[in-house]
Amino acid sequence: MLVLGIESSCDETGLALYDTERGLLSHAVHTQVAMHEEYGGVVPELASRDHIRRLIPLLRHVLVEACVEKSAIDAIAYTAGPGLAGALLVGASFAESLAQALAVPALPVHHLEGHLLSPLLSVDAPTFPFVALLVSGGHTQLMRVERVGSYELLGESLDDAAGEAFDKTAKLLGLGYPGGPALAVLAQQGTPGRFSLPRPMLRSADFDFSFSGLKTAVLTAARSRMLSATEKADLAAEFQEAVTEVLVAKALAAVKHCGVETLIVAGGVGANRRLRERLDSAARRQGIRVHYPALALCTDNGAMIAYCGAQRLLAGEKPARRDGAFAVRPRWPLQAL
Ligand code: KG4
Ligand code: ZN
């Protein structure tokens, strides 16, 4: 079965072709980073308009790369939420119309379920059950995953998501947009411990997180005096250390709590090198296996959506007949699945 995946929930247009027998045949992403950069954040209307421009060329691209005709597509999976309403509507209307034209089913997919299952696209795929640490720009959640479609929320951020904290802190340090990767680069040049930042909720006996106070602590440190370039890097390093320490401790505690042996990490912050180093070494000591998606599949992409749709169809899900009517869900808790 050949599934076309379409992602357009925020500022990346991603398309991919996943074959249930042959695996991922092709995927392509267009990122709008350069377009939103001058505004310091995503401008929803510009995002929607850009998705419109990119979808058809990207579809052509993935078809050519996979050496298939569009008539070979058996189903279309698309991100129906959560995300920006307009951006989601562009992807959904494209997916639903193409599905009608090709007379194939269209399957609305939850963006976070896509992230959650993305490590299963790797050659060395994890086996169920596992705990998932979802760390994206909009979400920080720990979930117990029994199988495809069975997700139990263990804990989540009570305020800013980890990626959001990276982005906002980067902005405070004048690093532009998107801040997460830029902050990570700066942190590599600094030394943690020269500034002292809190480890929020590290010792709370639950799996919840809170990152907004950390950003305020960075602001206070940055405002106390003019920071030199070295001090800025030290502050970035300490921030990264604080976030990763809490994420690692809580994720491994959740794995223990659930009595499983595997942790998967998904979402944009999963690309953070320091997080991976710390998790790998702590997990090794505790006999826990950690799986990550390939770096290119950490941030938003169509491959995870195609894969998620394919797994749902393989599990027997029958796409509803909607006769041209469809809806997107900008707010959509994963547990509602
Ligand atoms: O999963 P994603 O692509 O989009 C959402 O669904 O939110 O995640 C994007 C988030 C952004 O906040 C970005 O700053 C963060 O992931 N991010 C990183 C790194 N790469 C991306 N944060 C820290 N270190 C990185 N290397
Ligand atoms: Zn995402």
pLDDT in tens, 273-326: 999 999 999 999 999 999 999 989 999 999 999 999 999 999 999 887 777 789
- Which residue lies with its CA nearest to atom 3 of ligand 1? 299
Is the beta carbon of 167 within 6 A of some atom in ligand 1? yes
Model pLDDT, residue 325: 85
Report the distance separating Cα 70 and Cα 64, nearest Å. Answer: 10
- Which residues are CB-neighbours of 1 under 8 A, at least 6 positions away? 19, 20, 21, 74, 75, 310, 313, 314
Give me the chain's average pLDDT, please.
Answer: 95
Is the beta carbon of 270 within 6 A of some atom in ligand 1? no
Is the beta carbon of 269 within 6 A of some atom in ligand 1? yes
Beta bridge partner(s), residue 18 = 3, 24
Model pLDDT, residue 334: 87
Is the pTM here over 0.85, yes or no?
Answer: yes
* Residue of 11, 214, 269 to test ligand 1 pocket, by largest number of atoms within 8 Å of CB: 269
Report the distance separating Cα 186 and Cα 236, nearest Å. Answer: 6
The amino acid at 331: R
Percent of the chain with pLDDT over 70: 100
Report the separation in Å between the CA atom of 260 and the middle of ligand 1, taken as the mean of its atom positions.
27
Model pLDDT, residue 258: 98
Model pLDDT for residues 215-233, shown as the tens digit of each residue: 999 999 988 889 999 999 9
Q: Which fold has domain 126-292?
A: Nucleotidyltransferase; domain 5 (3.30.420)
Pairing mode, if any, of strands 140-147 and 150-156?
antiparallel
Concatenated DSSP letters for 185-254? HHHHTS-TTSS----TTTTSSSS-B--HHHHHHHHHHHHHSPPPHHHHHHHHHHHHHHHHHHHHHHHHHH
Residues of the chain within CATH 3.30.420.40 domain(s) are 2-116+298-336, 126-292
* Residue of 30, 156, 166 to test ligand 1 pocket, by largest number of atoms within 8 Å of CB: 166
Plot region of 197 (φ>0 → left; ψ -120 to 50 → alpha; else → beta): beta
CATH of domain 2-116+298-336: 3.30.420.40
Report the separation in Å between the CA atom of 268 and the middle of ligand 1, taken as the mean of its atom positions.
3
Model pLDDT, residue 158: 97
Taking 50 as the pLDDT cut, the residues of the chain under it are none
